[in-house]
Amino acid sequence: MSYVPTEDLLKGRVIVVTGAGDGIGRVAARTFAQHGASVVLVGRTRSKLESINDEIKQFGSTSPLIVPVDLARFDDSSSTDLQNGIRDVFGHLDGLLHNASILGPKVPIENYPYQDWQQVFQVNVHAQFLVTQSLLPLLRQSDDASVILTSSGVGRRGRAFWGAYSASKFATESLMEVLADELSSEKNIRVNSLNPGGTRTTMRARAYPEEDPATLPTPEEHMPLYLYLMGPDSRGTTGQKFDVISWNLP
C-alpha cells in the first residue's frame, strides 16, 4: 500500500531543511512547500538557495526564508543567529530535516587525512548537533514537531574505504536514539532517522563514478516517506530507523 498525502498535509507548518540547495534537500524543500509548509532553506551557496526559493514562490502560497550558512564553519554564534532568525520571522518551528552531508575521501583508514576526517565530522555531526540544540526551544512550541536525521547504509553497517562518512552516520544514528529517548516524555516532538539508499544525486555520482545514474531512483520517488515522517500521520512514531527501500505503512 502506497502513502498518498493530502495536498494540505503540512499547511501552517514551518520546516527547516539543511542542504536545501541540491539533491534530496532541494526536492524535499520543494515538496514540503507544495504541501503547504513555510520552508527555511539552509545551505552553503546563496545562488542555489535563491534558485529553489524562486521555484517555490512560483507555485506556492508560502514564502521561504533563505539562510546561507557554511556548516563547515558552523559554531555557537551561528546557531544563535539561526534560532533568532527563525523566531523573528515565524515564532515557532514544526519540522527539521537534517539533510546536509559531505562525503569525504574514500580511502583506507590508514591513509585517511585527519583534516578531512575533522571536516566530515564537523558538517555531518557537530553542525547537526548545534542546529538541533539551538532549534529545540522553537520545536517545543509546536503541537506536533518532527526531526528527521539522514542516515546511510554505511551508518548501519561499516564498509571498507567509507571512513569518516560511515563513522559520522553511525554517530547520526546514535544522536537520533539519544535525542528520541531524552524527548520520549514530550509527546509533541518525534525524532527518527531515514536512510534514502542509493539515489540519483551528485554525491552518489562522486561515490560511485562508474555507476549508471539511470538505474537509481530519483529524490522525487522518495518523497512519500519524507512527507509521512514530517506530517501528522507519523505522530507518536519516534526513535525509529527508516529505510526508503523497505518502508511500508504501519
Catalytic residues: 165
Contact 218, 199 (CB under 8 A): yes
- Nine-digit cell at 84? 533568532
Question: Exposed, middle or buried, 87 (CB in 10 Å: 0-12/13-18/19+)?
Answer: middle
Q: Which helix (H) or strand (E) holds 134?
A: helix 127-139
Angle at which helices 23-34 and 46-59 cross, to 10°: 30
Q: Which helix (H) or strand (E) holds 96?
A: strand 95-98
The CA distance from 157 to 166, in Å, is 8
Angle at 148 between CA 84 and CA 241, to 5 degrees: 155
